[in-house]
Amino acid sequence: MITLALVLVNLLLTAILAVAVLPEVKNANSLISKVAAAIDLDSASSGDGDSGTAKVALSDQESVDITGDDGITVNLKSGDDGQEHYAVVKFSLTVNKKAKSYKDNSAAFKEGSTSPAKNLVIQAVQQTLSQHTVSELRSDQQSITDECTAAVQKVLDKEYVVGVVFTSLTTQ
């Protein structure tokens, strides 16, 4: 009889312990998972991640002028003031000379000012810029440049395109 009573008390205490401890263990696991995900995101953005801008030596980079001296005019998204704003942007691409697609892409850019490759790159940059207001463009130019780089990498090749560089940016 005493053994049966001790077994029931042990079972009751085990159930109480499980009910009290299990939620805390789940919270700790959730926190650990979030921290691990944040660490993975940080390491992915440090160079070997999705952006394709893995460390490319300066000697392996080349600048390809896209817009020439004229630049492109982009309608910007209406801001808080409700007025229409425009940006005139001159930009170039920084490309990786060691990329597998370097020869093909470089040949496409040397075809002339009306090459399909240039038109696709210009369209990608225009679409990206048109999603931002003039105040965003003035205050956070680096993240917008990164967005433009990602858009151009979708059009061309992540290994080929290292970055988009605004050589001139005028807003109105």
pLDDT for the residue 53: 46
Q: What is the pLDDT of residue 41?
A: 58
Q: What percent of the chain has pLDDT over 90?
A: 6
* DSSP code of residue 46: I
Task: Output the pTM of the full model.
Answer: 0.62
Q: Is 94 helix (H, G, I), strand (E, B) or coil?
A: strand
Determine the average pLDDT of the residues in 22-34: 82
Structural domain boundaries enclosing 112: 58-171
The pLDDT value given to residue 50:
43
Within this chain, do residues 42 and 118 fall inside the same structural domain, yes or no? no
How far apart are alpha carbons 141 and 135 in whole angstroms?
10
* Side-chain-side CA neighbours of residue 94 (13 Å): 21
The reply to whether 43 and 62 lie within a common domain is no
Q: Which band of pLDDT confidence, cut at 50, 70 and 90, is reported for residue 6?
A: very high
Indicate whether 39 and 64 sit together in one domain: no
